[in-house]
Amino acid sequence: MDTTLFVQLLISGVLLGGIYALASIGLTFIFGVMKIVNFAHGEFLMVAMYLSFWLFHYFRLDPYISILIVAPLLFLIGLLVYRLLIKPTIGAPVLTQIFVTSMVIENLALLFWSADFRTVSLKYLQNSIVLGPFPSLGLEEMIVNPARLIAFCIALSLTVAFYFFLKLSYTGKVIRATSQDRFTALLMGINTDRIFKLTFAIGIMLTGVSGALMIPIYTVHPFVGFEFILVMFVVVVLGGMGSVVGATIAAIFIGIIEVFSGFLLGPQSKEAIYFLVFIAVLVIKPSGLFGLEREEELERIEAID
């Protein structure tokens, strides 16, 4: 493989990873704080993509501007789902509550919006950006997909902003305290129920933003969530459940793996490859690359269960 091709694939992989990162951060955040695996995350992504699509379809609203509408809407949906479904069943078997949500949302979408594949194409995104050539580095011309570049930039800046929100703001500190020890946080006068509600809604909102960023790139259909949820799980586990930084790095790693294995082995095997990576990581280091030490993490999970 020559250098140009290698760099080209690397760029594509990193850009793809950036998109996965934003979608996964919400998932890892919800897991980190609430210790529930949100199987419905992909469906929220799908809803966001549809919202963005319909806003474009009926109002000719640019998907990147529609973020301003989609994100708050998803925040509200998150609050609603938490209130109706997550809170009353928080003691029930971990999985089931979320499965239901996922199933119901997916099929409501099928019911209302049919199984058609829908897509948005934007004029100004049709021309690829050409990089190079850089003769000094031995690189020829490389192509960058503008939609992916924009998505990557927005996703990355949001991730950084979110990271500092968690680190520096009062709410962020309260959320981290709750995540570390729910009961002590409660003793310190933190309203953990409110924090959970907020966490769930913020997690869903982040996914909403990534949904709007994806709509110029991917087609949307009722089962699109299922396609992405598995990738998101891979990213979240690889990065260590609950770790925002870990998820970002893992997402870029997975993006690169996907692009390279797709190129070298053919597109059909790329999914199988990263699932095998996923199983390998689970078996060798279940806490992920950046997660807590295994024992500590397990203790926490078990304390909640």
Residues engaged in binding another protein (CB under 8 A): 31, 37, 85, 88-89, 91-97, 99-101, 103-104, 106-111, 114-115, 222, 230, 233-234, 237, 241, 268-269, 271-272, 275-276, 278-279, 282-283, 286, 298, 301-302, 305
Q: Which of 238, 161, 151, 207 is nearest to 26 (CA)?
A: 207
User: Could you tell me if residue 138 is left (phi over 0), alpha (psi between -120 and 50 degrees) or otherwise beta?
Assistant: left
Smallest separation, CB 282 to another protein (Å): 5
Alpha helix segments (H runs only) across the chain: 3-34, 41-59, 63-81, 94-113, 146-168, 170-180, 182-187, 192-214, 224-239, 244-265, 267-284, 294-304
Smallest separation, CB 43 to another protein (Å): 11
Choose between 162 and 233: whose C-beta lies nearer to another protein. Answer: 233
Smallest separation, CB 96 to another protein (Å): 5
Choose between 107 and 157: whose C-beta lies nearer to another protein. Answer: 107
Smallest separation, CB 86 to another protein (Å): 11
Q: What are the beta bridge partners of residue 143? A: 130
Smallest separation, CB 107 to another protein (Å): 3
b/e for 282-292, b at 16 or more Cβ within 10 A?
eeeeebbebbb
Smallest separation, CB 28 to another protein (Å): 12
Element (H, E) at 240: none
Choose between 172 and 286: whose C-beta lies nearer to another protein. Answer: 286
Choose between 188 and 272: whose C-beta lies nearer to another protein. Answer: 272
Choose between 91 and 189: whose C-beta lies nearer to another protein. Answer: 91
Smallest separation, CB 168 to another protein (Å): 29
Choose between 56 and 274: whose C-beta lies nearer to another protein. Answer: 274
Smallest separation, CB 35 to another protein (Å): 8
Q: Which of 225, 228, 271 is nearest to 46 (CA)?
A: 225
Neighbours of 12 (CB within 10 A): 22
Choose between 146 and 286: whose C-beta lies nearer to another protein. Answer: 286
Choose between 106 and 258: whose C-beta lies nearer to another protein. Answer: 106
Q: Which of 231, 232, 253, 237 is nearest to 286 (CA)?
A: 237
Instruction: Check whether the bond before 72 is cis (ω within 30° of 0).
Output: no
Under 8 Å CB-to-CB from 140, ≥6 apart: which residues?
4, 132, 133
Under 8 Å CB-to-CB from 296, ≥6 apart: which residues?
none
216's tokens: 């110029």
